[in-house]
Amino acid sequence: MWRCASGLARNRWGIRRLSSVLRPHVVDEGDWLYSIEWWDPASEGHTVFRKLSSHGNGIVSVFAYPASNPSVDQWLTTEKWLRQRYADMYPESNHKDCHFKVLGYQWRALRFNDVTRQSTVKVMAACRPSDPGSLILMQQSHCLAVPYLKSMVSVGLTALAASSFDLLHAVLGKKSMNILCIGHGGGSLPLFLASKIKGANVHVVEIDPVVVEASVEAMGFPSFDKTQHFIWDETLEKQMSIHVSDVYDYIKKDSNIYDIVFVDAYDGDDVFPCKLWDINGDFLPHLANRVHPVHGTVVVNVTRGDRDDNSLFFQSLLPLGKYVHKVCSAYKGHFGEAFTVTIPWLYNITLVACKGKNFNRRDEVLGQLASKTNLVESLLNLNFSCSDYVNNGLTVVK
């Protein structure tokens, strides 16, 4: 979940418009420049999924919007790739079965109660011309459409690498890496991590089965159905596990020790549940016991919202706001050290809590992270700048 920051160059939805003069060449399909295609009120979207949740999320819906990239002249490459993948998996199939036609690319946006934007992904649609009913909907795993996800990935993995975790061998599949994602949304974060890190074992905990259903039926998250199994890497199914459960119930029974945990859990009222950040509650101690004692890293998406006291007096004491300060203090209290970074274009911050670390000064943290940003960018072959997110308003939690 995210909120847009205000700015001088913005529309009534709060999105800052980006100048093509300043950014003439975009190589990232998830660049914020494209957000106008799926966020701007002038964008014409249509509903492709709508269902009532019984877990506090209200109406769960998915809206579809046309995506301008990749352009039509690039579709042939994808069609050839689909044909080859199908032929490799089903060598006995006839020529017509192997032929696929790309129908187009779309943004799919998950919302709660038609208002709260929870997740946005890009999907590719294709079918066999000989069988128009053979629709394939494939989420583009390399595309992170919202800046807060790029921030969580960049800052979280950089902090983990700076804690002496062997990220190289995890990416190559020579070392296992246990990842916990609390909150599923459209599934872009777990899918991105599993596709980029061959040694990743990604466990996703989502309380609402309707959210999982929406991600599979309308957002191209892998179902590993036999008819579409060929489009995904054969190891991906083994790498990802989705657990439909209350996260506290899951953590109490879980025996895994996680190298990194991503927390991105908001309900239909746009609220980060108090039990996930209550310093005196039961959840954080249990989570702390499930995180590696030396390099364990926890990454939390936090919105600076209405619960903050926005008075000038209070802001002078706690610049991040009362609510955010409580969240940060709770995670620092249970994990040892913590820092935050702000996120471009949004009111969100990324909170990182680390075990086995001792942060005294901001420049010390920046130095440790800066030494690993190029490594993370290179190993994961990122199409966005990791350092842009790591260096953005870093503050050590006191």
Written as one string, the DSSP assignment of 303-315 is E--TTS---HHHH
Structural domains in the chain (count): 2
**Tens digit of each residue's pLDDT, the chain (398 residues):** 655 554 433 332 233 333 333 444 457 999 999 999 998 655 668 999 999 999 989 999 999 999 999 999 999 999 999 999 888 888 877 766 688 999 999 999 999 998 788 899 999 999 988 887 889 999 999 999 999 999 999 999 999 999 989 999 999 999 999 999 999 999 999 999 999 999 999 999 999 999 999 999 999 999 877 777 788 888 898 999 999 999 999 999 999 999 999 999 988 787 899 999 999 999 999 999 999 999 999 999 998 754 444 444 334 434 456 889 999 999 999 998 999 999 988 889 999 999 977 666 788 888 889 999 999 999 999 999 999 999 999 999 98
Same domain for 388 and 315? yes
- Do 163 and 97 fall into the same domain? no
d(CA 29, CA 125): 16
Domain contains 329: yes
Give how far Cα 181 sits from Cα of 120, 172, 201, 259, 271, Å.
Answer: 17, 21, 11, 12, 18
Are 179 and 262 spatial neighbours (Cβ–Cβ below 8 Å)?
yes
Question: Within this chain, do residues 126 and 182 fall inside the same structural domain, yes or no?
Answer: no
Query: Where is the domain boundary, 77, 110, 139?
Result: 139
What residue numbers bound the domain in which 256 lies? 147-396
Q: Please, which residues bridge with residue 136 across strands? A: 126
381 within 8 A of 174, measured Cβ to Cβ: no
The count of other CB atoms within 10 Å of the CB of residue 77 is 11
Q: Is residue 220 part of a domain?
A: yes
Same domain, 257 and 158: yes
Residues 274 and 204 reside in one and the same domain: yes
Choosing from 139, 170, 187, the residue where a domain stops is 139
Examine residue 106 and state whether it is found in any structural domain, yes or no.
Answer: yes
Using only the alpha carbons of the chain, give its radius of gyration. 21
> Cβ(329)–Cβ(337) under 8 Å?
no
Residue 222 resides in a domain: yes
Task: Show which of 79, 108, 139 is a domain's final residue.
Answer: 139
Residue 43 is assigned to a structural domain of this protein: yes
**Does residue 228 fall inside a structural domain?**
yes
Are 110 and 239 contained in the same domain?
A: no
Q: Are residues 224 and 83 in the same domain?
A: no
Q: 251: burial class by Cβ within 10 Å (0-12, 13-18, 19+)?
A: buried
Q: Are residues 135 and 160 in the same domain?
A: no
In a domain, 19, yes or no: no
198 shares a domain with 271: yes
Determine the pLDDT at residue 65. Answer: 95
**pLDDT computed for residue 131 by the predictor:** 84
Rounded Cα–Cα distance for residues 100 and 88 (Å): 14
How high is the pLDDT of residue 308?
45
| Position 61 in a domain | yes
Tell me whether residue 335 is exposed, middle or buried, using C-beta atoms within 10 angstroms of its C-beta: 0 to 12, 13 to 18, 19 or more: buried
Predicted TM-score of the model (pTM): 0.89
Supply the pLDDT for residue 96: 66
